[in-house]
Every structure is written in C-alpha cells, then in structure tokens.
C-alpha cells in the first residue's frame, strides 16, 4: 500500500474492521512520527533509472507529477512557489539512492536549531549545518512493468545513509542533508526491557473484541459523517457523547471508538525512543507527536488527538509553506 494517509486505530474500526486491535497484540515495528510538511518522495525511477523528487502525486495514475530537473518542478508546481522552493532544495541536496523513499520535510538548516514545519516546534540539541532536514519513514518497491502507480510501500525499518565510500568519492556532497531517524521501541513488563509487543494491554484488546460483538457497525457511506462529527468535537475541545450520534449510528459504536482510543493511548504510554529533539506546541513542551505501528495487520498512527489533532485543526500554517525560509549562504 502507498503511504497516502495513515489512520487512527479508533477511526479504522467504524465499519467493523478490527485489524487495528489485532495489530496491538502482535509483534510490530514502531517508529517515531514527525509533524513535517510537505511529504517528499524521492529515489530512482524503476522504469528509466533516473533520479527524481516529488510529492505523493508521483504515484498518480493520471496527472503524474514526477520531477527530474528544476524545470520539471517549475512546470509541475509553478502555481505553488513555496513548494517549488522545497522540491528544488530536495532535488539538489537529497543523497542519491537506488531505492524509493518518502519522508517529511522538516526545514532548511544552515545554522538553525529550531524548526516549525507544521504545528509542532522542533528544537534540536545542536546547530544544524546541513542544508535541509528530512525525516524518512517509508520505503517503496516498484518494478518496470507497474511503475510508481503500483508501488508497494512499507515503513522504513533501516537507517538510510550514503554508501560508505560516497563522501570519499564526492567530497562536495558532505553536509547537504540530515536524515532524522530516531529508534523507537515498546517497554516490556520487566523494567527497562525493550520489546515489540504491547503485552500489557492484551486483556483490554480482548475486552474490546467482545464488546464489538454487540455493536452495529457503520455503513461505509456513513463513516465520513461520523468522523467529521468526531473531528469537530476534537477541534472544538468538546466531550464526545454517545447519545449525540444516535441519529447517524449505533451509540455503542462510539463507546467502542472511545475504548479503542483509550487502548491506543495506554499503548503509547509504553512507547519510548532515543530522540534528543524537543517538541513544543505554542511554547509548551509536548514530548513528540506520536508513533507509527506496523505489522501484517496494517499501519496506524498513534497520536494524542486531543492535543496534536486539536492543534492541527486550529493551525493556520497548515494552508501554506510561507513560514519556510532558505538558509542564508555565507
């Protein structure tokens, strides 16, 4: 699957798909979620071997926007000058690779310490001298026959770095890009134990599955309305009351939604990472946006919605990239 949009576990169960609950009770890969913007896709095109950069529009079956040159970027995205600036910087500074990656653009370095790509303010422990900062999170597999529209993506489980001899062969490439890739893990029942399984919440997941047997789930055409109502409550910081949804769905479905949300938040309390980057919203320390969990049951984002989604919904910066500035060159 392409990394177009990650779901919250609680939203994913509205039609009766309980894969998210199974994801919590099976071994999984955990990664740190960054609040970067825009999403960048780059790598080597499987059909022509050329290096490219773009947004998620590179995966379109129609109106495909793939950029091999600065001229391509200006032609495909000329109506969005801030995006042109970001993509041009990525084309010129991302390290060449034989693979295809997706990541979030964090900002321009050049002596900066603080970056605010979207809602979260990130403060690095040291001055960033690299030209750009990117948080990679997804790797794609595509062949010559299917091309990018049929690419298969999965969370990145390795650190991507230039080849060992890259800087020896190309010394001018040093310091162009910083990849932000902290490690994340789940704490086990034994203190300081690192694991890949949320064993502490297995009993609550089983309870949620039992509860689901008494719920009438929503038809697919009703999910949009339900999530819109839920998001409105989150945006306005209002309580989510089961009875207020009885004209659109089974109120017990909202009870299950809240239970799955609580399971997710408890799971997050067992998540740890080795990032030294501090995160703030409106000057208040928040620790980080959250995590992404992945296994054969699916990929889901673990976020405290009352904090981060609420802030995102009310963030005027989300409509443009005008807060981004190029680093000053000496």
User: pTM for the complete prediction?
Assistant: 0.86
d(CA 34, CA 30): 13
List average pLDDT for each run of 10 residues in the chain, which is 330 residues long. Answer: 75 97 94 94 95 94 93 96 96 91 95 93 95 95 92 88 56 76 87 80 97 97 96 92 96 98 96 94 88 94 84 54 44
The DSSP symbol for 37 reads: S
Residue 242: count of CB within 10 angstroms of its CB: 16
Per-residue model confidence (pLDDT) at position 329: 41
Q: Which of 53, 126, 137 is nearest to 93 (CA)?
A: 53
d(CA 278, CA 281): 11
Q: List C-alpha distances in Å: 217 to 15, 127, 172, 222, 251.
A: 5, 51, 58, 10, 10
- For 120-144, the pLDDT digits (tens) are 999 999 999 999 999 999 999 999 9
Contacts for 278 with CB less than 8 Å, ≥ 6 apart: 122, 123, 125, 285
d(CA 294, CA 26): 10
- For 56-107, the pLDDT digits (tens) are 999 998 888 999 999 999 999 999 999 999 999 999 999 888 899 999 999 9
Contacts for 29 with CB less than 8 Å, ≥ 6 apart: 155, 157, 196, 293, 294, 295
Beta strands 132-141; 177-179: pairing state:
parallel
Q: Residue 199 is encoded by which pair of tokens?
A: 């064993």
> What distance lies between CA 94 and its chain's CA centroid?
19
């Amino acid at each position: 699957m392409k990394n177009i949009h990650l779901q919250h576990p609680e939203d994913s169960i509205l039609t009766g798909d309980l894969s998210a609950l199974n994801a919590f009770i099976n071994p999984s890969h955990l990664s740190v979620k960054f609040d970067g913007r825009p999403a960048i896709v780059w790598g080597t095109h499987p059909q022509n071997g050329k290096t490219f950069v773009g947004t998620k529009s590179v995966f379109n079956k129609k109106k495909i926007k793939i950029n091999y040159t600065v001229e391509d970027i200006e032609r495909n995205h000329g109506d969005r000058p801030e995006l042109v600036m970001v993509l041009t910087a990525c084309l010129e500074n991302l390290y060449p690779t034989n693979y295809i990656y997706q990541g979030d653009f964090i900002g321009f370095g050049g002596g900066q310490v603080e970056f605010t790509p979207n809602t979260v303010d990130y403060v690095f422990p040291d001055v960033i001298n690299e030209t750009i900062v990117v948080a990679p999170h997804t790797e794609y597999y595509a062949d010559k026959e299917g091309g990018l529209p049929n690419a298969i993506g999965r969370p990145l489980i390795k650190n991507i770095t230039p080849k060992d001899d890259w800087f020896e062969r190309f010394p001018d490439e040093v310091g162009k890009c910083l990849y932000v890739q902290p490690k994340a893990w789940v704490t086990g029942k034994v203190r300081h134990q690192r694991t890949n399984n949320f064993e502490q919440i297995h009993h609550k997941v089983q309870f949620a599955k039992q509860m689901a047997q008494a719920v009438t789930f929503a038809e697919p055409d009703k999910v949009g309305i339900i999530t819109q109502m839920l998001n409105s409550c989150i945006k306005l910081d209002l309580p989510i009351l089961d009875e207020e949804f009885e004209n659109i769905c089974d109120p017990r479905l909202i009870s299950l939604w809240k239970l799955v949300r609580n399971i997710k938040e408890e799971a997050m309390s067992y998540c740890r990472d080795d990032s030294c980057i501090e995160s703030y919203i409106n000057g208040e320390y928040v620790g980080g946006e959250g995590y992404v969990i992945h296994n054969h049951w699916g990929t889901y984002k673990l976020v405290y919605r009352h904090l981060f989604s609420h802030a995102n919904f009310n963030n005027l910066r989300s409509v443009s990239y005008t807060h981004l500035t190029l680093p000053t060159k000496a």
